[in-house]
Structure 1
Amino acid sequence: MQDWAPVFITLVLFILLSPGLLFQIPGKCRTIEFGNFHTSAVSILVHAILFFTFTAIFLIAVGVHMYLGS
C-alpha cells in the first residue's frame, strides 16, 4: 500500500498558504491582509517558512498516514 498523506497534505497546504490567495503575511498596509491577490518577496519567504513548518508538523511530528484501497 502507498501512503497518500504527504501528497494530500502538501497539496492542501500549498493551496491554503499561497501568498495573496486567501491571506498574506505581512501585507502592504497591515500585518495580515485577506484576498488581495498581491504578493511580495517577504511574503513569499514567510509563507514558505509556514509551509515547511506545517508540513513537518503534520508528517513528522504527528505522523499522519492515509492508505487508499484494500
Structure 2
Amino acid sequence: MSDWGPVLIAVVLFVLLSPGLLFQLPGRHKIVEFGNMQTSGLSILVHTVLYFGVITIFLIAIGVHIHTG
C-alpha cells in the first residue's frame, strides 16, 4: 500500500505558499501583498518557515495519510 498523504500535502502547500502567487509576506511596499508575482529574499525565508511549520503540523501532529492499493 502506498501512502500518498505526505506527497499530496507537500505539493499543495508548495503551490499555495509560493511567494507572490497568492500572497507575499512581507511585501515590497506593504506588510502583506496579494497576487503581485514578485518576491524577495526575506519573503522566501518567511514562506519557507511557514511551509515547514504547516507541513510539520499536518504530517507529524495530525498524521494525515492517504492509502492507495
The answer to whether structure 1 residue 27 and structure 2 residue 27 are counterparts is: yes
Unaligned runs of 5+ in 1: none
The answer to whether structure 1 residue 46 and structure 2 residue 46 are counterparts is: yes
Quick one: percent identity of the two aligned structures? 61
Unaligned runs of 5+ in 2: none
Q: CA deviation at 1:68?
A: 1.7
**Normalising to structure 2: TM-score of the pair?**
0.97
Give the match for residue 60 of structure 1.
Answer: 60
> CA separation in 2, counterparts of 1:19 and 1:29?
15
**Normalising to structure 1: TM-score of the pair?**
0.96
